[in-house]
Chain A
Amino acid sequence: MPSWIGQAFRRGILTSRFPRAPASREEVPETSRPPVLPPGLERIAVLGRAADDCPTGAITADGLYHGRCIRCARCTRQGFTFGGRALANASRPEDLYSPGGGPLPERLGPAPLAGLGRSLQLFLVDAGSCLACNREVLALANPYYDAARLGITFVNSPHHADVLVVVGIPTRPILEPLRRAYEALPGPKAVLAIGACALEGGLFRGNPGTQAPLYETLPVDLFVPGCPPSPLDILAGVLTLAGRMKCLPGVPA
């Protein structure tokens, strides 16, 4: 006689060991990690070629702006490689700029919610996304990531939330609801911007009807770059806000 309990036991424990142990390669795939320019290459020539090819203007002749990168992999043909450190520690847009295209400096992000202990409620807000970021955020509830084990849950109203998780490029009709949702959060509160669209608008920056970047509308506390970032990057961002990331999210073993 098959049963739900038997089924659950047969699958065994799927849950990631992050943040106790570094994430595995399977959990943080290469393409969710930022491109870096390996040392030893002709930097100026490579940056110049890659800048011509970059569809979002993330790569310029001087360096790489991680906030705009959508991981399209075109620059890998010019010498860039995927596999930089997964970042969840940038509180200002300029923190995401790396001159010369090398890896970003390592530092811990801000922790505005450090006083909240082990409980953190998230409210997801879609400002104009393609749904990939939405599903990666909600994937935190699935058994592989199981954010509930860390006291992180999703709530149905901004009145009950500590963190406003924003995905997608802000569009004009959504700006006012966005502001009102932010006001509805009780303090202390934080805003987490997920994905290239919520950072700088990604591929859609400047399109009519949109109003990127998000940080001009809301005070963003932490940026999680990626297109979309992997669920563990998002989890690392949430934990950083709560001051519970003692080290940076490690590069997979």
Chain B
Amino acid sequence: MTGERSLSYLPQDRSFALFTDHLARQSVRGSVAELTGQDLRVARNWRSSVTEPWVLELGEEVEGYGTFRFPYGPFSMGVPEAGTFEIVTYGERILEVLPGFGQKPRGILGSLPGLPLEDAALRVERLAGPYSASHASAFLFATEAAAGTPLPSLEAHVRAVAQELQRVYNHLHVLARLAEAASQNVGQAQTHALAEDLLRLASRHFGHRWLFGALLPRGPSRHLEPSDRSGLARSLSGLGARFEALWELFQGSRTFVDRLQGTGRVTRSQAVMWGAVGPVLRASGVPWDDRLRDPSPPYRDLFLPLAHQSEGDALARTLVRVEEVRSSLLLLEQLLDRWPGGGTIDPAPAVAPGRGLARCEAPSGDLVWDVRVRDGKVLEAGFRSPSQANWPLFALACRQSVFTDFHFTLESFGLSFAETDG
């Protein structure tokens, strides 16, 4: 449908991969302090930076007898999002996949400077709806770090609850999409139903199904009184039991397991070299999770089992996600049980000038926001999303696989185009 146009995007895609590689390597190896804002600015301006010739030289062309480029997207129900793929193939085997970004340039990041923090946060949330709690939390933590405002522990607690709810939802969504790709229709329907249960819980307790505005001072009203919290805990434990019953069936389904095993493999060295984050990294034998390294409450005080696998294939990523559903439910249980007293629920707007950097473990990996504020307004902002870090890994994992593996690889990565086209 968009053959010619996508081809002209080719060099940019490669350079994007290289940039994210460079950035992500730093963020995995380094600490918060080592990841400088300059790198984040590079990430933000990658579209203009692609004219740098050194980037283009590093790309290699896949050529050979009978190869052709198969354009896929931007509109397809298989990937219900606007993004294109150039698949280099000679018929069945995928030699190379080039994800095409830039199909939805909404100019969100560019519109942030000059906005009051609260207005900016509304836009940040809508960068990627299913990950809104992570984006809003990281953005707000960054503005609070910039202004030096001490954070009420209650607010940090509420953000953790919101993030864990969304993590469970997103992992279930990935599982449902995988079940759909493997034609496990009952499993798909039942998993989608579980995910819908979570959206309704979010709606009941945070006032919005997708938690838009729920973490902001003047958002929809929250319902987290003691009776609401015990109700939420009860609903979640019921949900956990239903999830276990469902997962037992998935495990027993040879169709499902066979389809995932060995599909879209990412080796440990690839994951480390290209800077994978989140479940992709943990499924490749690197036990890394931002929540475990969080020096601040509430994660510091909670018991968090770290899920990791070493195979690096779609099955390993799914197993990591399943473990994380369990650990998130465990975390939610602890969070709801140890509710901090007092504290104001409305954080004071940041007024002092400064610059802050904050990171969160979003459902698909490490998310970084870097914000400069002055007089309660955003001066400059940048982010590195887990999707930006993991897209190059997806392209690597697809090499030498076949067409039918494409969706299993894509869904098991849990990537989104929305997070790259800010």
A-side residues, CB < 8 A to B, are 2-5, 7-8, 10-11, 14, 26, 29-32, 55, 70-74, 76-77, 82, 123-136, 138-139, 141-144, 154-156, 158, 168-169, 171-174, 176-177, 180-181, 202-204, 207-210, 227-228, 230
Known: A5-B186, A72-B122, A77-B218. A135 touches B193 (CB 8 A): no
Cβ A129 vs Cβ B418 within 8 A: yes
- Chain A residue nearest to B200 in the complex (CB): A26
B246 within 8 A of A: yes
Cβ A181 vs Cβ B75 within 8 A: yes
> Which of A7, A77, A176, A181 contacts B245, CB < 8 Å?
A7
Cβ A208 vs Cβ B77 within 8 A: no
- Chain B residue nearest to A170 in the complex (CB): B104
Cβ A55 vs Cβ B220 within 8 A: no
Q: Which residues of B contact A204 (CB under 8 A)?
A: 106-108, 111, 123, 126
Cβ B192 vs Cβ A139 within 8 A: yes
Cβ A177 vs Cβ B1 within 8 A: yes
In the assembled complex, 17 residue pairs joining A and B whose CB atoms fall closer than 8 Å, in A order, are: A71-B213, A124-B80, A126-B80, A128-B103, A130-B126, A132-B212, A133-B129, A134-B81, A135-B129, A136-B209, A139-B196, A144-B196, A171-B104, A173-B5, A207-B111, A210-B106, A228-B210
* Chain B 80-106 interface mask (CB, 8 Å, partner A; 1/0): 111000000000000000000011111
Task: Give A8 to B193 CA distance when docked, in angstroms.
Answer: 11
Cβ B77 vs Cβ A123 within 8 A: yes
Q: Which residues of B contact A172 (CB under 8 A)?
A: 105
Q: Which residues of B contact A139 (CB under 8 A)?
A: 192, 196
Q: Which residues of A contact B218 (CB under 8 A)?
A: 72-74, 77
Known: A73-B213, A135-B173, A204-B107. A7 touches B186 (CB 8 A): yes
Cβ A132 vs Cβ B210 within 8 A: yes
Cβ B129 vs Cβ A132 within 8 A: yes
Q: Which residues of A contact B126 (CB under 8 A)?
A: 130, 132, 202-204, 227
- Chain A residue nearest to B189 in the complex (CB): A143
B2 within 8 A of A: yes
Task: Give A70 to B81 CA distance when docked, in angstroms.
Answer: 21
B-side residues, CB < 8 A to A, are 1-2, 5, 74-78, 80-82, 102-108, 110-111, 119, 122-123, 126-130, 132, 173, 186-187, 189-190, 192-193, 195-196, 200, 203-204, 207-210, 212-213, 218-221, 242, 245-246, 248-249, 252, 416, 418, 421
Known: A135-B129, A207-B111. A126 touches B105 (CB 8 A): no
A225 to chain B, nearest CB (A): 14
Cβ B105 vs Cβ A171 within 8 A: yes
> Which of A134, A154, A203 contacts B122, CB < 8 Å?
A203
Cβ B75 vs Cβ A126 within 8 A: yes
Interface centre among A5, A154, A180, A228 (most CB of B within 10 A): A228
A212 to chain B, nearest CB (A): 10
Task: Give A156 to B79 CA distance when docked, in angstroms.
Answer: 10
Known: A7-B249, A73-B219. A154 touches B418 (CB 8 A): no
Task: Give A7 to B148 CA distance when docked, in angstroms.
Answer: 52
Cβ A168 vs Cβ B104 within 8 A: yes
A192 to chain B, nearest CB (A): 15
Q: Which residues of A contact B81 (CB under 8 A)?
A: 126, 129, 131, 134
Cβ A142 vs Cβ B189 within 8 A: yes
Known: A7-B246, A134-B80, A144-B193. A129 touches B74 (CB 8 A): no
Given contacts A32-B209, A77-B218, A129-B81, 7 further A-B contacts (CB under 8 A): A131-B81, A132-B212, A143-B193, A171-B105, A173-B105, A204-B106, A228-B129
